[in-house]
Amino acid sequence: MMQSPIRAARTVMFAALCLAATAAGADEAPPVWAYPIAPQDYVPPKDDGTVRQVPGSIRGYTLTEIRDLFVARDWFPQAHPPMPPVVAEGRKPNLRPCGVCHRPEGVGGPENASLAGLPAAYMLRQIDDFRSGARSTGVKERAHVFRMITGLKELTDDEIRQAVAYYASQPLPARIRVVETDSVPASYVPSWYYTPRKGGGSEPLAGRIIEMPDDEENFINRDSRVTFTAYVPVGSLALGGTIAREGSPDRIVACIACHGERLEGVADIPPLAGRSPSYIVRQLYEFKHGLRGGSMAEPMKENAARMTVPEMVALAAYAASLTP
């Protein structure tokens, strides 16, 4: 389908902006929009004792049960094999079960990684890197990252093997709708994620990716079937597709060279297709600035070091738009 003249012009302008931007050095601040932080004064709603339910599930939990971060509430136990103990339940005070944040099916959310379908060898490397300090985060206020690192250090080798094998076997469903736009619903961050403001309205997207759950109530319920809309700048998909397939001469190596023709992953190189664009931008920034090291990180560090943030945005948008 041919682009309209206005849309085509926007695409060219967006590409020109990326090419004109200079790759910043070590003082390049992280794109704050990609790192939503729960406000310190956030007070979650009180539990009125109502048993909550989600579409398609016969199970019910109170808000207090859902907020218990040491038990992974499983709305759809029939949809996956039995969870290993460490995925289902944690050990106080530091070890939270994997399934609380990454969900029993491994789908995760914009605030963390989707583990479903990642190669087992890749996940083992990431656990080693988090535990050794080779991998961290670009924003120290992302407290949940450091809580995870603390918990990972308490895992036994057998628990790690069980959790990794379990999540590697799970398929990642298609659940992200990517929308190119100049404006986005006016939003705020209640707790590690974006959601529309109650009063409505819109605001300029201004080069960001804003990723929101389509059903906030069931996202809060940790429903693994909630879908997301990712608003991205106009021209992102075309530019991101070019970077993925062709790279940029003498600067960026084409992503498909390692991640596969459809960014589906190859051997122990992880798939990118259909995964959170916010998460992908965070990882590219952290590779660029030395916050991700460890085994096999060098090719990504070298490639990301040559990318501008607008190019990261475009690539992440394109990857998220693909079918997992």
For residue 209, the Cα-to-chain-centroid distance in whole angstroms is 12
Clarify whether residues 99 and 203 are in a common domain: no
The dihedral through the CA atoms of 176, 31, 106, 262 has a sign that is positive
CATH number at residue 301: 1.10.760.10
Instruction: Please check whether residue 53 lies inside any domain of the structure.
Output: no
Clarify whether residues 69 and 132 are in a common domain: yes
Instruction: Please check whether residue 209 lies inside any domain of the structure.
Output: yes
Clarify whether residues 106 and 131 are in a common domain: yes
pTM: 0.91
For residue 26, give its domain range.
5-39+173-321
Clarify whether residues 242 and 317 are in a common domain: yes
Task: For the chain, 324 residues long, give each residue's pLDDT as a single digit of tens.
Answer: 334 443 443 444 344 434 433 334 456 999 999 999 989 888 888 999 999 999 999 999 999 999 999 999 999 999 999 999 999 999 999 999 999 999 999 999 999 999 999 999 999 999 999 999 999 999 999 999 999 999 999 999 999 999 999 999 999 999 999 999 999 999 999 999 999 999 999 999 999 999 999 999 999 999 999 999 999 999 999 999 999 999 998 899 999 999 999 999 999 999 999 999 999 999 999 999 999 999 899 999 999 999 999 999 999 999 999 999
Q: Are the CB atoms for 252 and 312 separated by under 8 Å?
A: no
- Residues with Cβ within 8 Å of 268's Cβ and at least 6 positions away in sequence, in order, are 119, 120, 121, 122, 125, 296
Last residue of a domain, one of 109, 133, 168: 168
